[in-house]
Chain A
Amino acid sequence: MFSDFSAAELSAIFAMQGFAGLILFAVFVLMALGLAIIFGQMGVINMAHGEFMILGAYVTYMTSNLFASHFPQLFGSYFLFAIVFAFFAAALLGALVEWSMIRFLYHRPLDTLLATWGLSLIMQQTYRSIFGAREVGVVIPDWLMGSYQLTDMIEVPINGLFVMVLAVLATLFVAALMYRSRWGKQVRAVVQNRPMAGAVGINTARVDRLTFALGCGIAGVAGSAFTMIGSTGPSSGQLYIVDTFLVVVFGGAGSLLGTVASAFSISQSQSILEFFMGGSMAKVLTLLVVVIILMFRPQGLFSLKVRR
Chain B
Amino acid sequence: MDHSNDSKPFKQTRRKFLSTTVTAITAAVMMASMPMTIQAAAPATAEVNTTGLAVTDNTVKVGILHSITGTMAISEEGSVQAEILAIEQINAMGGVLGRKIEYIQEDGASDWPTFADRSNKLLRQDKVAAVFGCWTSASRKAVLPIFERYNGMLYYPTFYEGLEQSPNVIYTGQEATQQVLAGLDWVAEEKDAKTFYLIGSDYIWPRTSNKIARTHIEQHLGGQVVGEDYFPLGHTSFNSVINRIRLRKPDVIFASVVGGSNVAFYRQLKAAGLDMTKEDFTLLTISVTEDEVLGIGGENIAGAYASMKYFQSLPNENNEAFVKAFKERWGADAVIGDVTQAAYLGPWLWKAAVEAAGSFDVDKVRAASPDIELTTAPEGYVRIHENHHLWSKGRIGHAQRDGQFKVVHETEELMEPDPFPAGYQ
Contact = CB atoms under 8 A, between A and B. Distances in A.
B262 to A, nearest CB: 7
Contacts of A236: 260
A229 B267 contact: yes
Interface stretch (B42-50, B117-125, B174-182, B238-246): B238-246
Contacts of B229: 278-279
Contacts of A160: 239, 271
Nearest to A277: B229
Contacts of A271: 237, 239-240
B186 interface: no
Interface stretch (B8-16, B296-304, B345-353, B362-370): B296-304
Contact of B271 (A134, A157, A234, A270): A157
A223 to B, nearest CB: 12
A149 B273 contact: yes
A279 B241 CA distance: 8
A122 B70 CA distance: 12
Interface stretch (B71-79, B146-154, B165-173, B417-425): B71-79
A145 B202 CA distance: 27
A236 B74 CA distance: 10
A274 B272 CA distance: 17
Interface in B219-238: 229-232, 234-237
Interface residues of A, number: 51
Interface in A129-167: 132-140, 145-147, 149, 155, 157-160
Nearest to B301: A137
Count class of interface residues, chain B: 35 or more
A125 interface: yes
A5 B247 contact: yes
Nearest to B270: A145
Interface string B282-306: 0000000001011111111000000
A23 interface: yes
A274 B241 contact: yes
B231 A231 contact: no
A119 interface: no
Interface stretch (A12-20, A33-41, A201-209, A297-305): A12-20
Contacts of B77: 132-134
Interface string B247-289: 1000000000001111110011011110000000000000000
B69 interface: yes
A171 to B, nearest CB: 19
B138 interface: no
A78 to B, nearest CB: 15
A19 B263 CA distance: 21
Contact of A137 (B230, B232, B271, B297): B297
B247 A140 contact: no
Contacts of B244: 275
Contacts of B231: 278-280
Given A160-B271, A230-B260, A23 B74 contact: no
A290 to B, nearest CB: 16
A239 interface: yes
Contacts of B272: 147, 155, 157
Contacts of A149: 273
Given A20-B240, A229-B236, A280-B231, A135 B294 contact: yes
A13 B74 contact: no
Given A137-B295, A230-B260, A232-B295, A27 B237 contact: yes
A145 B311 CA distance: 27
Residue of B232, B241, B244 with highest tally of chain A CB at under 10 A: B232
Interface in A83-139: 125, 128, 132-139
Interface string A37-49: 0000000000000
A146 B74 contact: no
B68 interface: yes
A228 interface: yes
Nearest to A226: B236
Contact of A155 (B273, B291, B295): B273
Contacts of B69: 125, 128, 133
Given A24-B239, A135-B260, A135-B263, A233 B295 contact: yes
A125 B68 CA distance: 11
A262 interface: no
A244 interface: no
Given A128-B69, A155-B273, A275-B244, A230 B264 contact: yes
A195 to B, nearest CB: 43
Interface in B189-231: 202, 229-231
A135 B295 CA distance: 5
Contacts of A17: 240, 243
Given A133-B77, A134-B294, A231-B295, A279 B202 contact: yes
Interface string A208-238: 0000000000000000001011111111101
Nearest to A121: B69
Contacts of B273: 146-147, 149, 155, 157
A198 to B, nearest CB: 42
A146 B232 contact: no
A9 B247 contact: yes
Contacts of B247: 5, 9, 13
Contacts of B271: 145-147, 157-160, 228-229
Interface in B68-94: 68-71, 73-74, 77
Interface of A: 5, 9, 13, 16-17, 19-20, 23-24, 27, 125, 128, 132-140, 145-147, 149, 155, 157-160, 226, 228-236, 238-239, 270-272, 274-275, 278-280, 283
15 contacts: A24-B237, A133-B69, A133-B73, A133-B77, A134-B74, A135-B295, A137-B294, A146-B273, A157-B268, A230-B263, A231-B236, A238-B71, A270-B237, A272-B240, A274-B241
Interface of B: 68-71, 73-74, 77, 202, 229-232, 234-237, 239-244, 246-247, 259-264, 267-268, 270-273, 291, 293-300, 403
Given A137-B296, A234-B73, 13 more contacts: A23-B237, A134-B291, A135-B263, A139-B297, A145-B267, A145-B270, A145-B299, A146-B271, A230-B267, A233-B74, A239-B236, A271-B237, A278-B231
What 9 pairs across the A-B complex have the smallest Cβ distances? A135-B295, A20-B239, A147-B273, A279-B231, A231-B263, A157-B271, A133-B73, A231-B260, A274-B240
